[in-house]
Amino acid sequence: RLRLHDRKLIKDRRYHLRTYPNCFVAKELTDWLIDHKEAPDRETGIRLMQKLMDHYIIHHVCDEHSDYKDAKLLYRFRKDDGTFPLTKDVKVFLRGQNLYEKLVSVEESFLKVREENSVKYQRTFLGCEMIDWLVQEGEAENRKEAVELGRALLEHGIIQHVSNRHHFFDSNLLYQFWINFRRRRRLTELLNENSSRALSESPDSPFCLRKLNPEPGNTSFLSVQTNKEIKIVSAVRRSSITSLAGNSNPYFSTTPAPVFPPVAECNPKSVLKRPVTNEELLSPGAPYIKKTLTIVGDAVGWGFVVRGGRPCHIQAVDPGGPAAAAGMKVCQFVFSVNGMYVLHLDYQTISSLIMTGPRTLVMEVMEAVE
């Protein structure tokens, strides 16, 4: 983004008697990616920019296109118009980056190469050393708060125990920064990471919304094995949606990811009697009413499944879950999520938006009038 500003690819542009500030032309950006060796060809450049769209880094200036098109269309970095979502995950990542930069910049930093069981590890520190430093530098008010910060960094994959056997403790256990924030990364690395679109090949597959790491106080961290497998136990009721999936085991086993939950295959057939378009929903006099639902997630999640796309609909609701208590019903259409208009988005994007948002979810839904 900063390089594009320097090269004047990002600037105010006028189109149809309206000025759009701080935007770029998609086709020009694709050319730039190839010229500067950030992408080997146009197809890869398009996939890279789609990645940034999927992760809410860039968007079409009028939000009329959910896909990145290699054309004379205007897009903008959300950082430039104040719409970049500062979710909990992003805040923890930025906090970890700031701490890392601060640590490597001081003379005689305790961040160093250390050896344990004949294996050398980069960027390591003792748990108690980190706690001392966080309190001393005013990054935490006390040791308890410092431990909570360390645990958040570990649960978000920024630091880890060197052999993946322990959570973060105020002790002599050896930890390391898993991320080297100073390593220069290339955009093409994004294509090797998991994305919400990889959760299912089918655009109509159901998606069960469940947070992998509940809020503090309802921690589900049991153990991390050497293969990085996290075992998660649901401390609260098991929803009927899980039962529909045919999962009788109360433990979920999945590869750790920042925001993406396990997929539950439930109700593969759409509950809608017929397809409904956005134009039909929004046309004057249409038999639909809009409702605002405030859903407070529990340790399991929110208790509903969203499916389809443009518009998405509610496919299933756990009768004993938070969504049902808030008034959610099957066949409702998702109009907005936490104030963001989403009728033009697919279920993967909406699900990712929900998963990376706050625990208290505010949704506007459209419901057919009886």
CATH of residue 55: 1.10.10.10
Cβ atoms of residues 329 and 323 within 8 Å? no
Q: Is the same domain home to 284 and 308?
A: yes
Q: Which residues pair with 314 in a beta bridge?
A: 306
Helix, strand or coil for residue 289? strand
Q: Spell out the residues 6+ positions from residue 316 whose beta carbon is closer than 8 angstroms to its own.
A: 206, 241, 244, 266, 267, 271, 304, 305, 330
- Neighbour count for residue 14 (Cβ, 10 Å): 8
Band (pLDDT 50/70/90 cuts) for residue 214 is very low
Band (pLDDT 50/70/90 cuts) for residue 258 is very low
Helix, strand or coil for residue 197? helix
Domain residues for 120? 88-177
pLDDT at 193: 60
Band (pLDDT 50/70/90 cuts) for residue 268 is low
Q: Is the pTM of this model over 0.85?
A: no
Of 56, 77, 98, the residue at which a domain comes to its end is 77
In a domain, 15, yes or no: yes
In a domain, 237, yes or no: no
When the pLDDT of each residue in the chain is averaged and rounded to a whole number, the result is 79
Whether a cis peptide bond, with omega within 30° of 0, leads into 311 is: yes
Residue with more model confidence, 141 or 223? 141
pLDDT greater than 80 at residue 340: yes
- Neighbour count for residue 27 (Cβ, 10 Å): 14
Q: Spell out the residues 6+ positions from residue 222 whose beta carbon is closer than 8 angstroms to its own.
A: 230, 231, 232, 233
Of 53, 77, 101, the residue at which a domain comes to its end is 77
In a domain, 208, yes or no: no
Most confident of 49-58, 186-195, 228-237, 247-256: 49-58
Euclidean distance between CA atoms 153 and 176, whole angstroms: 11
Question: Tokens 């570990």, residue?
Answer: 154
Of 177, 208, 229, the residue at which a domain comes to its end is 177
